[in-house]
Amino acid sequence: MLYFKTAGESHGKCLIAIVEGFPAGVLIDEAVINSEMKRRQGGLGRGGRMQIEEDRVEILSGIRKNITLGSPICLMIKNRDFKIDELPAVTRPRPGHADLAGVIKYNQKDARNILERASARETAARVAVGALVKILLSQFGIDVFGYVRGVGGINSDKFLGDISVGRDIREKSPMYCVDREIEAKIVERIKETSEKGDSLGGIIEVIAHGLPIGLGNHTQWDLRLDARLAGALMSVQAIKGVEVGLGCDVANKFGSEVHDEIFYEKSAKNKLLTGGFKRITNNAGGIEGGISNGEPIVVRAYMKPIPTLMKPLRSVDFLTKEPITATYERSDVCAVPAASVVCEAMVAFEISRAFLEKFGGDSLDEVKRNYEGYVSNI
Amino acid sequence: MLYFKTAGESHGKCLIAIVEGFPAGVLIDEAVINSEMKRRQGGLGRGGRMQIEEDRVEILSGIRKNITLGSPICLMIKNRDFKIDELPAVTRPRPGHADLAGVIKYNQKDARNILERASARETAARVAVGALVKILLSQFGIDVFGYVRGVGGINSDKFLGDISVGRDIREKSPMYCVDREIEAKIVERIKETSEKGDSLGGIIEVIAHGLPIGLGNHTQWDLRLDARLAGALMSVQAIKGVEVGLGCDVANKFGSEVHDEIFYEKSAKNKLLTGGFKRITNNAGGIEGGISNGEPIVVRAYMKPIPTLMKPLRSVDFLTKEPITATYERSDVCAVPAASVVCEAMVAFEISRAFLEKFGGDSLDEVKRNYEGYVSNI
Amino acid sequence: MLYFKTAGESHGKCLIAIVEGFPAGVLIDEAVINSEMKRRQGGLGRGGRMQIEEDRVEILSGIRKNITLGSPICLMIKNRDFKIDELPAVTRPRPGHADLAGVIKYNQKDARNILERASARETAARVAVGALVKILLSQFGIDVFGYVRGVGGINSDKFLGDISVGRDIREKSPMYCVDREIEAKIVERIKETSEKGDSLGGIIEVIAHGLPIGLGNHTQWDLRLDARLAGALMSVQAIKGVEVGLGCDVANKFGSEVHDEIFYEKSAKNKLLTGGFKRITNNAGGIEGGISNGEPIVVRAYMKPIPTLMKPLRSVDFLTKEPITATYERSDVCAVPAASVVCEAMVAFEISRAFLEKFGGDSLDEVKRNYEGYVSNI
Amino acid sequence: MLYFKTAGESHGKCLIAIVEGFPAGVLIDEAVINSEMKRRQGGLGRGGRMQIEEDRVEILSGIRKNITLGSPICLMIKNRDFKIDELPAVTRPRPGHADLAGVIKYNQKDARNILERASARETAARVAVGALVKILLSQFGIDVFGYVRGVGGINSDKFLGDISVGRDIREKSPMYCVDREIEAKIVERIKETSEKGDSLGGIIEVIAHGLPIGLGNHTQWDLRLDARLAGALMSVQAIKGVEVGLGCDVANKFGSEVHDEIFYEKSAKNKLLTGGFKRITNNAGGIEGGISNGEPIVVRAYMKPIPTLMKPLRSVDFLTKEPITATYERSDVCAVPAASVVCEAMVAFEISRAFLEKFGGDSLDEVKRNYEGYVSNI
């Protein structure tokens, strides 16, 4: 079974990801992983640390001569500012962070012992995993694409059509948007907000093309593809809302407006994936009954503004109980572009997991044979 | 480790839930479970089957003389209309259901082999589990409360204050609302929609009071309390969006508007749970960094309208590939009240899981001793 | 992922097994399961309860018209002597049972609250699961065969050649032996021991034929096939030793005597499973490096004599702390034949799990296609 | 929940272990871990590589200023002979290794892609984990002790009394024995065997003192402490047999000889752990019904001789199918002392897991409070 875990603290030696259940025989180009690492570090609105980091992945295990072995893959990203033991104690918990709850839960006197792990720095390891599994998915024509749909209330209402077109636009966008109209407004909003010492959240959309019908399960609550995607997205630091397809809006509509009617076209272009069944709408976001239905997976995550503000929030020193203002740890105004890379990684991971659960196999050849047997049978 | 699984088909012999990791020594009143079963069957907008069912839980294992043994608890709800073998084949997949995707995934010629398990009838077993774990939580003063915040676009904007007041109102509300103003409008909307043969979705809010600070973990992506809650809620049939606290709205606000500043009051009324730290706002919905922060947990789930319409949707017979209208299986106009009971159950389960992970213990006495040791140390 | 859990107490309403991850499309003959239930109840040396029980499996879910649906399969075996609430309290813990440790762990005052679940009656549910998975394995020519190799020190030194011949002998043997010479001696030993009010243990061997090379994993400690088989066998009540292949004897030999040299024969009869590679010895018991190597899996489990003796053991009343003799609950002299059925079930389960992990697939057709693709590629 | 996974290949960059669920607040002395690393590398009978390695653990995460944080702990052991990409292909599978089965399973043309991970070098990571969890266990007076009971048929029949006495003897023994009489004979046997180019296996015993009554569970097959210990021991490379307490011998005895009668002594010296209940015998090896009973845990593992012989075994080149002799990869005559350290580590891990499942807690203080509450209540 595919799974991954991460380890590592923000100013510790490194971040680590371990991935188990990845098939043997997949060619891994480190440069592809590193370009994802770079993408996570980019985007307008980031503070000074991003320049220090220049994350690069080092493969510690599971790959020989650039080919996966089927054994656990361990990826390391070194922290260039490793100084965790020297950093001062933090006794002023920051609202919106794990600081206070973590200190009490783990019986600590220094919130640094919590915040070092709770930090979004951990997402570097997730992005490395995402890059790895996207290489696997690409072997099956599955393309996962995350982008920024909105920041600080300036939200796109455009539907993203072709991912490859979107990717070209996104690559040039400082905000990882695919809608140039809102982008300029967002850039302006970030500038203003930066000057005020405030911060901004935003909306991330992740779309996955090329999934065959039949990933995920309707048979048990914790095997549903939508449940797993929701959990994976909500696990990303600062995400407070998650939706699939039409999402929260479904609550306000009639049934006759929501469900995606089913049609059949003998020579539908994605016939291989759906057997010729097709939809004209995709309000379901590609998942019905917890199973992929052959349409693109569409999910959205809603990110809160970064809680560490230059204009600090009121808090209490947890040792003295004196009112104070919260410790200022970081200076990003907006981390939504970075989070879009993380959300893309998490979606790619959950799709890969469902994919390998269905198709089994220990080597890429075997997974392919099983996959092809299935799709040619659809 | 607490977990549960369900089994059973909609028109099979029964629904089954198995719960493992539940401590010994808890007094279980079957009537309490059955009153939850009844609540799931109630609510305005349900079709004919609800009258047939009159669900009652039968305890098959894990409880002796009404006291839990610490061994797996198996709960059965018999189906009064057990006739799965006699029911006709379904070859007309219903949009919005698992029918089509399931038939292809599992290589079936009869969608009944899918829909019987994908049916929301399965939630009866979840509600039984929810009732069980709420009995446990009540021993620790934790109260989980789900209600309907809106139906078909008629949404309450009131904040629910006191759960016990809310419960009184909800018990009398045909829509499981706590806002009488919107209720009348919703009832009207359901009536109109019923006449049109259409269906309605809605918004469910679940609030949990009484959690100590420190449930959940910031240390690993899949241990975060918000991630687990999101997965659990999205796993409920027909849910397409999930949020925590302020939820999706966070994306449109400034950081200075979102985060809940921290204060201290020596004699705060929930001091036992938070050590005197308190908030004036609860935009975080009681979870920061994946850990409960002592404020009420607030989550919302957005439910789509039931896809089985009296005015059927277009589909395709998957054997003949001929266009048809989808099979009509059920007749509810609105199942949001029922889903609110299910969402409450799922939230109660995930809180119980995090609770027992933190406090360990094999008997209620031991869990209590560990819990009390912790809260008196906060 | 295939897994199973059981629930139920010895004198509760029933035993329950839930099996998840079983593929759709498998024809299940209830009579086959029930014949295994009967086999568990047979064998010389059992006391009076076996006559009462006449276990029969009732399928509660996951199967429609005798075909699996891919949804969780729930199997129930009713207890004919359901009287758990009426049975008297037990305060005299029996040596060799969970009674004392369980009472303290779970903070109980009545050991019945422990022994009802710890009882080997629970194995009825395991045997039902074993019967189910053996039906699956039989579709792939995998045959799992458990038998009694020895009782009370009278042990066979014969190697079991052909399973089908062994099965014929076993079916007629009151001791589930395949070596008629020792059987007569064992029957005599049981008779003598019964008269003395004592009890006997024995040795169980389980052999599995027909596995392709490549089940299990060398990549992680808890994925090794031998580790899982050892855990599964040791989990059977009263088993205190487990071995694979030559087993414990390996410790006393030279390397040159132990390892199975590798040969190749283009037209080897099991070529499909091993690609023509073959061994002349099978000291490894079919597993090298945690992976099946195409030779028969051979494992053994060593069972202790039943601790409930007619000549009771010394103990202490845990309430009064007075020395007493232990409560007499059951009257079997020897339960090794029954345990051989349980061990066979556990081995069949772990092989099925490894099989489905490798081959994936949601329906029998898909599993077969994947399996055939693999073996034809070997 | 405590778990660990390892990653890394024998000649890759490093071995990695990740441990999750370890409580915060535990002081970790790296020197203690490194002395265990050294112990694994010692023992008579090892070949040349042991001198190269000089394993040292580097802590990558989860620990700050020598104190655990509650976040995942990642331990790295660098390989001094990192050259995996340069090493030649292996097409001659070695009997007794994963080579052949792995190559076919993972569709490889070079057995190095298998043997690098299947190698017992992986156990370095397990020993690091073992050292870590033993530091935790020592906080609760739990002492886990592994030693060599026999090699090549020269087996001790002495019962190990006091662990602390045994440890003194073991520390001075080149064979990690505690019975000086057999040691001299073993040393002689190894010398002879080395000259013949053959190899030897042996018997390892692990004893754990100081466990309270009540670890493990009787409630589900895969939660039993004996089942988990058996799986963990059998997962160690080259182990083919596992037993608890009297072990396999139970099969040959009468019930009246096997079960440990129960006595009570108000002022028994281990009263804290057992509530005054005590045994005179410990044939059960400290586990009844899957639960620790307060007596020392006693388990044994039977190790086969190392399969890589200087006098190579017959095999077949899997590409050409020509008969050959197996590739010679390593030169140990006997690795039983090293394996005793690994078995000790695995037992310590499983006991820690059961311990933390029972007592919960996020910090050492909390675990201690919960533990003390329990034992003072026994």
Among candidates D71, D220, D357 on the partner chain, residue whose Cβ is nearest the Cβ of B72: D220
- Search chain B and give the residue with CA nearest A108: B378
C365 inside 8 A of chain B by CB:
yes
Q: Is the pLDDT of residue D339 over 70?
A: yes
Helix or strand (DSSP H, E) at A263: strand A263-264
> In this predicted structure, what is the pLDDT of residue B348?
98
The helix/strand/coil state of D174 is coil
User: Backbone phi, then psi, for C91, in 5-degree steps?
Assistant: -120, 5
The helix/strand/coil state of D119 is coil
Mean pLDDT on C308-314: 79
Residues of B within 8 A of C362 (CB-CB) are 105-107
> In this predicted structure, what is the pLDDT of residue B51?
58
Residues of D within 8 A of C153 (CB-CB) are 251-253
- Residue among C242, C364, C360, C218 at smallest CA distance from C292: C218
Q: Do B252 and A153 touch (CB under 8 A)?
A: yes
Q: Do A107 and D71 touch (CB under 8 A)?
A: no
Q: Do C288 and D253 touch (CB under 8 A)?
A: no
Among candidates D16, D69, D71 on the partner chain, residue whose Cβ is nearest the Cβ of A60: D16
Residues 6 or more apart whose Cβ sits within 8 Å of residue B289: A97, A98, A99, A101, A102, A114, A118, A237, B218, B224
Residues 6 or more apart whose Cβ sits within 8 Å of residue C273: C210, C211, C212, C213, C294, C375, C378
Q: What is the DSSP string of B124-157?
A: HHHHHHHHHHHHHHHTTT-EEEEEEEEETTEE--
First to last CA, chain B: 24
Confidence class for position A187, pLDDT limits 50, 70, 90: very high
- How many A-D residue pairs are in contact by the CB < 8 A criterion? 136
B47 inside 8 A of chain C by CB:
no
Q: Do D360 and B370 touch (CB under 8 A)?
A: yes
- Search chain B and give the residue with CA nearest C366: B107
For the record, the structure tokens of B207 come out as: 């609030």
Q: Is the pLDDT of residue A139 over 60?
A: yes
Interface test with A, best of B97, B244, B288 (most A CBs within 10 A): B288
Q: Do D373 and B369 touch (CB under 8 A)?
A: yes
Give pairs for C279-282: CB < 8 Å, separation 24+: C282/C245
Helix or strand (DSSP H, E) at C278: strand C277-278
| Distance of alpha carbon D186 from alpha carbon D175, whole angstroms | 8
B96 inside 8 A of chain A by CB:
yes
Give strand pairing partners of B207.
Answer: B145, B298
Output b/e per residue, D96-113; b: 16+ Cβ within 10 A.
bbbbbbbbbbbbbebbbb
User: What is the least distance, in Å, from the CA of C123 to any CA of chain B?
Assistant: 15
Q: Is the pLDDT of residue A312 over 90?
A: no
Q: For residue range A240-276, list pLDDT tens digits in order.
A: 999 999 999 999 999 999 999 999 998 877 777 888 9
Residues of A within 8 A of D368 (CB-CB) are none
Residue with tokens 């896809």: B307
User: What is the least distance, in Å, from the CA of B75 to any CA of chain D?
Assistant: 17
| Beta-strand runs (E) in chain D | 3-7, 14-20, 57-61, 63-64, 67-68, 73-78, 143-151, 154-155, 202-209, 239-244, 263-264, 277-278, 287-288, 291-292, 297-303, 314-316, 323-325
Q: Do B69 and C113 touch (CB under 8 A)?
A: yes
User: What is the least distance, in Å, from the CA of A72 to any CA of chain C?
Assistant: 7
Q: Do D359 and B370 touch (CB under 8 A)?
A: yes
D13 inside 8 A of chain A by CB:
yes
Sign, CA torsion D119/D125/D129/D131: positive
B21 inside 8 A of chain A by CB:
no
Taking all residues of chain B, what is their mean pLDDT, rounded to a whole number? 94
Q: For residue range C248-303, list pLDDT tens digits in order.
A: 999 999 999 999 999 999 887 777 788 899 999 999 999 999 999 999 999 999 99
| Distance of alpha carbon A172 from alpha carbon C193, whole angstroms | 85
| Distance of alpha carbon D290 from alpha carbon D228, whole angstroms | 9
Q: Identify the weakest region by mean pLDDT among A138-147, B12-21, C19-28, D257-266.
A: D257-266
**Amino acid letter, A78:** K
In chain C, % of residues over pLDDT 70: 97
Mean pLDDT on B137-166: 92
Burial class (CB in 10 A: 0-12, 13-18, 19+), D321: middle
Residues 6 or more apart whose Cβ sits within 8 Å of residue A315: A92, A93, A94, A95, A100, A323, A324, A325, A326, B261, B262
Confidence class for position A378, pLDDT limits 50, 70, 90: confident
Q: Do A235 and B245 touch (CB under 8 A)?
A: no
Could you say which residues from 57 to 76 on chain D have a Cβ atom under 8 Å away from some Cβ of chain A? 60-62, 64-65, 67, 69-74, 76
Q: What is the DSSP string of C289-330?
A: TTEE-SSPEEEEEEEPPPS--SSPPEEE-TTT--EEE-----
Distance of CA C335 to the CA centre of its chain: 13
**Amino acid letter, A278:** K
User: What is the least distance, in Å, from the CA of D127 to any CA of chain B?
Assistant: 24
Q: For residue range C165-218, list pLDDT tens digits in order.
A: 899 999 999 999 999 999 999 999 999 999 988 999 999 999 999 999 999 999
Taking all residues of chain A, what is their mean pLDDT, rounded to a whole number? 94
Q: Is the pLDDT of residue B18 over 90?
A: yes
Residues of B within 8 A of A313 (CB-CB) are 256, 259, 261-262
> In this predicted structure, what is the pLDDT of residue B160?
78
CA distances from B80 to B10, B44, B50, B53, B77 (A): 10, 22, 11, 6, 9
| Distance of alpha carbon C121 from alpha carbon C103, whole angstroms | 19
Q: What angle do CA C47, C48, C50 make, to 5 degrees?
A: 85
CB C286 within 8 A of CB C270: no
Q: Do D227 and C232 touch (CB under 8 A)?
A: yes
Q: For residue range C109-123, list pLDDT tens digits in order.
A: 999 999 999 999 999
Among candidates D25, D61, D114 on the partner chain, residue whose Cβ is nearest the Cβ of A9: D61
The helix/strand/coil state of D363 is strand
- Search chain A and give the residue with CA nearest B285: A240
C259 inside 8 A of chain D by CB:
yes
Residues of B within 8 A of A307 (CB-CB) are 255, 258-259
User: What is the least distance, in Å, from the CA of A261 to any CA of chain B?
Assistant: 5
Residue with tokens 């139920």: C8
Helix ranges restricted to H, chain C: 30-41, 49-53, 99-105, 112-118, 123-138, 163-172, 180-196, 225-234, 255-258, 271-274, 336-359, 364-377
B374 inside 8 A of chain D by CB:
yes
Residue with tokens 């089957």: B49
Residues of A within 8 A of B118 (CB-CB) are 218, 289-290
Burial class (CB in 10 A: 0-12, 13-18, 19+), A156: buried
For the record, the structure tokens of B130 come out as: 């929810």
Interface test with A, best of C215, C356, C369, C377 (most A CBs within 10 A): C369
Residues of B within 8 A of A235 (CB-CB) are 221-222, 224, 226-227, 290
pTM of the model: 0.97
Q: What angle do CA A371, A375, A378 make, to 5 degrees?
A: 145
The CA-based dihedral angle spanning residues D362, D367, D370, D374, taken in that order and rounded to the nearest 10 degrees: 140
**Amino acid letter, C263:** F
Q: Is the pLDDT of residue D327 over 70?
A: no
The helix/strand/coil state of B298 is strand
CB A6 within 8 A of CB B221: yes
Confidence class for position B50, pLDDT limits 50, 70, 90: low
A101 inside 8 A of chain B by CB:
yes
Q: For residue range D221-233, list pLDDT tens digits in order.
A: 999 999 999 999 9
Q: Identify the weakest region by mean pLDDT among B16-25, B181-190, C57-66, C322-331.
A: C322-331
- Residue among A58, A51, A103 at smallest CA distance from D60: A58
Give strand pairing partners of A30.
Answer: none
Q: What angle do CA C178, C182, C183 make, to 5 degrees?
A: 65
Q: For residue range B66-117, list pLDDT tens digits in order.
A: 999 999 999 999 999 999 999 999 999 999 999 999 999 999 999 999 999 9
| Distance of alpha carbon D229 from alpha carbon D241, whole angstroms | 12
Q: Do C365 and B107 touch (CB under 8 A)?
A: yes
Q: Do C7 and B61 touch (CB under 8 A)?
A: yes
Residue with tokens 């046997």: D189
- Search chain D and give the residue with CA nearest B374: D366
User: What is the least distance, in Å, from the CA of A186 to any CA of chain B?
Assistant: 12
Q: Do D254 and C155 touch (CB under 8 A)?
A: no
Q: Do C258 and D315 touch (CB under 8 A)?
A: no
Q: For residue range B249-303, list pLDDT tens digits in order.
A: 999 999 999 999 999 998 877 777 888 999 999 999 999 999 999 999 999 999 9
Residues 6 or more apart whose Cβ sits within 8 Å of residue C26: C67, C68, C135, C136, C139, C364
User: Backbone phi, then psi, for C251, in 5-degree steps?
Assistant: -65, -20
CB A113 within 8 A of CB A106: yes
D362 inside 8 A of chain B by CB:
yes
D361 inside 8 A of chain B by CB:
yes
